[in-house]
Every structure is written in structure tokens, then in C-alpha cells.
Structure 1
Amino acid sequence: MGRKNGKPRVVVIGGGTGLSVLLRGLKEKPVAITAIVTVADDGGSSGRLRYEMKMPPPGDIRNVLVALADTEPVLEALLQYRFVSGNGLSGHSIGNLLLAALMELSGDFVTAIEQMSQVLAVRGRVLPAAEEAIVLHAEMEDGSIVTGESIIPKSGKRIKRVFIEDNVEALEDAIKALKQADAIIIGPGSLYTSILPNLLVPGIVEAIRQSKATKAYICNVMTQPGETDGYNAADHLAAIHSHVGNSLFQYIIVNNGVVPDNVRTMYKEQGQEPVSYSEEDLIAKGYKVVAEELLLYDKFLRHNAAKLSEIIMELIGKKA
């Protein structure tokens, strides 16, 4: 392993808003961060750029770069801005278009990310899980196959498993980062469309298993319609186990805070409910349980990034 400039190396794996929330807290800590980000997105601006420019989808990468950036609020707002009109421009975010332009200039997506990282003074390294865009498929419980990360949760059916094409290769730097890590954090994020697409890339899980890092899974605070309806924390773990095997991490981080009734009602109308857990059940499955009040509510329920970062630093400290 070996620390980078005296700082512990923390690798976080995921995608979507969950990963960005965690990174906003973690970048304030004395750690060397590498974010391994899913490239399975095929909806919206990312999907259009993916198909029109034959590039990996930039949206999740953009969100992570902005979360780790040392930028002025105006620049952050600019990068996240989506055009609302304009033939061909409508729906595209400026950050996505910048990544697309840098890729055309450099001829390489990873180089484009590195160049944008320099421009934004990003605190850490951002890597796609794979060199190319991933096509995500889901086998539903009725036996049907649904293709497309953005379509799977909208199918109205329960997911049995997700899988990707066989010809995908993990980014070599991502494998190297995992093997050198002092801590590997998986989640939070959409279980089937953000977390598992990373873990299904050949070589990623093997590198996690080989790593001597402290390994933790951050369980989502709410269920997700079309993905984890009715799931508790053990169900999230069971889904990961059925896809990539057991004993991928030692710790599971769960929320023990109570969702206020008015917020709970609002989320229930959207088909979401808090993810429950049984500490005895999780311990029986071989996990060390870290249960804390992790909720923040500001228009949306999300993880408390500062609190999560404290927990991660404590877990690293226990290993040191």
C-alpha cells in the first residue's frame, strides 16, 4: 500500500448524486482520494453524447469532478447548467460539453478527465471504471430482459439481476488504485444502476478482494423505485453477493436516524421508504455494523457528508 504524501489513500466507488454527496465531505479531510465512477449512463445529455460522439457518458464523471473541485460557486453553477432551448443544445449541461470537447482535443476520455481536473483544481483523482461505455442489461423476475441504465428502473418489473457485455475491460489505473488503497468505500448510490455496474467490470472485484484496505459499504438511506422497492439493508447486501460473491467488505454503514413523519409521507408518495436494518442479522452475516444518524434534509433526504467522512476517517484510524 503506502500512503500518498503521508495521506491515507481512499478509493470510493459509485456514481450518481450519492457519490458526489460523499465526496463533498471527504475532500475536506487529509486523504488522497480516487473516485472510480460508473460509465453505464445512457439517458439525457450523457446518453446523447455517448451515442453521437462515441464517448463514455460524462454525466456522473462531471458530477464527481464538480464535487471534488476547488471552484467558485459561479463556476460550479456554470458547469452544472443545462441549456433549456436551442436546437441540439437543449438538455445538455456545459460540463458534459466541456468533457466532450476535451476528449476530441486529446483523443482520449481519461486524458480529458485529467485535463478538466487540472482546470478545476480537483482534490483527488477521478477515473472511469472502464475504458468504454458500458451497456447495462437487467433480467427481470418474469424472465424478460431490459436494456439501458435509464430504462431499467422504469420497466415496472422487479429486477432479478443485472449484467454487462463480456468485452468490457477495467481501467488499469482503477485496478492499481484499488490494490494500493488504505480504504475502499462502496456507495452510497443506486444499487443496480450505479454500484453494480462498477463491480461487474472484470477485474474490479478481484482487485478489491486482493487489496489489504479497510472496506466498507454505505447503505442507502431510502429505497429506490424500480430498483430496491421494499429492500432492507440485508437485501442490498444479498443483491451484491448474488452478483459478485460474499465478503467484499468488512463494514456496513447504516442510518439509524428517524425520518420525520412529514418527510416520510412525502417520500412514500414517490414510492420510497427508509431502508431498515437488523444489526443482529448483519452481524450474523459477518459484518461489522456502523450505525449512526446520517440524515440531512434540505428539499431532499441525503447522507450527511461531514458525518460520513468522520466515520471513514475513524475506520482508517482503527487500521493504522
Structure 2
Amino acid sequence: MIKKYRPKLIITGWILLGIIGIFLLSMGLSDFMYKISINYKLSTKILLIITGTVLIIFSVTKSYNNVIKYVCKSNGNKDLNREDINNIIYRERVLSKGPKIVVIGGGTGLSVLLRGLKEFTSNITAIVTVADDGGGSGILREDLGMLPPGDIRSCILALANTEPIMEKLLQYRFSEGKLKGQNFGNLFLAAMNEICGSFEMAVKETSNVLAVTGKVLPMTLEDVVLYAELENGEIVKGESEIPKRCKEISSKIRRVYIEPKESYPLIEAIEAIEEADLIVLGPGSLYTSVIPNLLVNNIVDKIYESKAPKVYITNIMTQPGETDDYTVLDHVKGILSHSRKDLLDYVIANTGEIPQEVLKKYTSDGSKPVILGENDERILKEKGIRLIKENLIDIKKDYIRHNSILLSQLLVEIAKKKPIKSS
């Protein structure tokens, strides 16, 4: 197992040494010790003063050096000047006092949100779906019998504090040979899974290596398979097959469920939910990324019992074969029908307009903006759910994403119980 660096323990040791030095120095300067020194005709006073001073200087120097090592390690072992280090230490102190936020979901939407959240708090726990069975993750799952690493990898990288080249390496996808289509980060997690002996430890140690802000946890350690019951009664097996089949036969999803049903969340996930200042669902694929997390035994009850506000973030665009023509209310109904009718306190929805040239790319694939239906706001209010409307559009390389910084600001304000003006 990879040896864990424990800066707090090391620094505490040097501080203790400094305290001893201060104690000895104080004794050396006291009248009591001075009188003893005269009585015994010894240089006890001078000896204690010198020893105490040396220990204090030694303690301060060692503590500072260990802080520098830790800061550099946390920032990818970069060469940092004194001003950079002071700014990082100050920032870490501020972030460590940020609200405890639990984010539940998977896919691109979750990783985008996490990149924004880590700018406001370091107390983040991401609970990530492991129902994926497509692409490179699906191949590794089938070949090695491990949990799918794809969504976990994306979230780890979103929260990592590492060199850009390391992120590029872990995001690299092979284009030729037998590894064609495989992601290096997935292979890295697969190797860590073998080295550490379990997927849970592989995720933890990878997070340590990449100096992750907060925690990334799989929704369960069970090898779960996602199923969907369609409105025509057909049962579809497999996360990757569900939207394909829905498109083929033009049938919507009635409900999803997982097998085996006896699957349980990690103890760390339950503890994070119990201690949370805010619990967030989404953004992400409604039926294949967000809801699967709610199907694990006891998780809905634990979320409901938490005193933290519960927020659902709707997607900006519908997903072909999964949420065709869904409004904001349709998304909310999907969440509530797979949990309980009084689970949510807030819903955050985008009301910003998408540029037509970008929108064309999505509409050609059958995707549309998720809009508020005529009665959505009234019905949500009747359900006791507060709707927060905001322009959350962020266009990057012609891809529509949530504005992670603005979205994170809204979430932090809710966590801190600050009043929010809904546009």
C-alpha cells in the first residue's frame, strides 16, 4: 500500500518541541531558577535560556519547512515563491472553513460542478454512480471484474490539485492498437485496484496521489446493474443500452432499478450525509447518473433525515432517449418518484438563452433546452420546493455546460442559509 504523507502529525511534533523550548526558556528567565542557580553556584539559568532558545528556533524552522513541503506536494510539487505559498496557505485556511457539501450523481455534469465547488470549500464529498457499463469502463468491468472507473476518474481529476500534464495524461485516450478507446486514467485506477486489493482503497490512494480536495466515493461497492422499465412494459438491461433502446422504439422510461437490490452505501458516504450543510443531486443524466445513487439501500432515508437543505440541479439540455421533451418539473418528478415526494427543498434551473449556432449542434441530435412548463413553478411551490432561476449557461468549445462558479456560489449561499434572489 502507498505510504500516506501525514504533515499534520509531523508539524505537531515540531510544535511540541517548540513548546518545550518556551517552557525551558521561561524557567531560565524566572527568579525561582535564578535563586537556585546562585544557591548551587551553577549556570542553570544560562543553560536553560540557551537550550530553550535553540529548541524554539529549531522548532519554528522545521515546522515552516514541513509546511512548505506539504504545500508544494499539494500543488503538484511545483516551485513556488514565498508569496505563492502564503497565498495558498491563506486560501487553504479559508476553504477549510467552507460548508460541508455532499454532491450525488455522475457523468460530465458532476465533474463540471466539482471544479467550481473546490474554489469555495474543501469540505466536499462526491458520491458517484458505478452503474456504468459502456465504453472503456464497461470493458474493464467485464474483463477485470472491477467497478467501472470512468465517472470516478472524472470526479477525482475535477477535484485534483496537480500539474496540467498529469491531468492530460490521466485523460489521454489511446487511438491505436489493442488499447484503442481506452482511457489511461481508467487503466491507472485498474492497476491501483489490483495493488490495493479493493476498489475503495484504489480510489482513496489515487485521491492521495493527486492531492484531491475533499473525497470521492463510489455509491456502493456492489457490482450493480441498472435496469429500466419502459412505458410499453419492456425491460432494458444495462446503463448504456437504456437510451439506445428508448430511441429505437420511441418509448419513455417509467422507472429504473438496480440488481442486486441488496446493495448498500459506504459508511463514509452515510457519515458525510449526516454531517452535511448541503446535499446536492445532479447535474447529470437523470436516469443513468443521478437516480441510480438513490436506489442503494437506505440512502434516501439518510438524505431525508439529514438537516441539510436538499437541492436538485436540472440539466440544461434534454438527453435523447432518456429525457426527450422533459421540462424542469418532469425532471423533478423523476427524482421524487424514485425517492420520496418530500425529499427536495430547492430546484435550480437555467433560464439563460443558448446561442443559435451552438444550439443547432444539439437539436440535430434530438436534444432540446430544458424549459419551465407553463405550470411548473406553481406546482413546485405547491410541493414545498423553492425554484431558483438563473442564467447558468457556459459555452466552451461549442459545448453547453453549467457555469460552475455561479452555480457553486448559489449552492454555498444556500448552505450558509443566506437569502437568494430568484430571477
TM-score higher than 0.5: yes
Separation of aligned partners in 1, 2:335 and 2:119? 30
Larger Rg: 2
CA contact (8 A) 2:99 2:416 kept: no
Separation of aligned partners in 2, 1:30 and 1:232? 31
CA contact (8 A) 1:57 1:133 kept: no
Residue 189 of structure 1 aligns with which residue?
Answer: 284
Q: TM-score, normalised by structure 2?
A: 0.73
Q: TM-score, normalised by structure 1?
A: 0.96
CA contact (8 A) 2:97 2:121 kept: no
CA contact (8 A) 2:137 2:149 kept: yes
Cα displacement string for residues 102-143 of structure 1 (whole angstroms, at most 9, x for unaligned residues): 110111111111110011111110000001232000011111
Residue 308 of structure 1 aligns with which residue?
Answer: 407
Question: Is 1:317 the equivalent of 2:317?
Answer: no
CA contact (8 A) 1:99 1:113 kept: yes
Code of the aligned partner of 2:389: A
Question: Is 1:164 the equivalent of 2:258?
Answer: yes
> Identity over the aligned pairs, expressed in percent?
53
CA contact (8 A) 1:18 1:189 kept: yes
Code of the aligned partner of 2:216: V
Residues 118-267 of structure 1: matches in 2 within 5 Å? 118-155=208-245, 156=247, 157-165=251-259, 166-267=261-362
Residue 270 of structure 1 aligns with which residue?
Answer: 365
Residues 20-169 of structure 1: matches in 2 within 5 Å? 20-87=111-178, 89-155=179-245, 156=247, 157-165=251-259, 166-169=261-264
CA contact (8 A) 2:98 2:120 kept: no
Code of the aligned partner of 2:416: G
CA contact (8 A) 1:185 1:215 kept: yes
Deviation at 1:282, TM superposition (A): 2.0
Alignment: residue pair count: 316
Stretches (4+) displaced over 3 A:
4-7
Code of the aligned partner of 1:305: S
Deviation at 1:148, TM superposition (A): 0.4
Cα displacement string for residues 226-274 of structure 1 (whole angstroms, at most 9, x for unaligned residues): 1100100100111112221212120000111112222233321110111
CA contact (8 A) 1:55 1:132 kept: no
Separation of aligned partners in 2, 1:124 and 1:31? 6
Output the aligned Cα RMSD: 1.4
Separation of aligned partners in 1, 2:418 and 2:155? 27
Separation of aligned partners in 1, 2:347 and 2:161? 30
Name whichever structure is richer in strand by fraction: 1
Separation of aligned partners in 1, 2:121 and 2:102? 14
CA contact (8 A) 1:10 1:31 kept: no
Residue 88 of structure 2 aligns with which residue?
Answer: none
* Larger displacement relative to structure 2 (193-202 or 278-287): 278-287
Separation of aligned partners in 2, 1:52 and 1:266? 35
SS at match of 1:175: helix
Separation of aligned partners in 2, 1:74 and 1:159? 41
Code of the aligned partner of 2:191: A
Separation of aligned partners in 2, 1:279 and 1:73? 42
Residue 107 of structure 2 aligns with which residue?
Answer: 16
In structure 1, list runs of 5 or more residues that go unmatched.
none
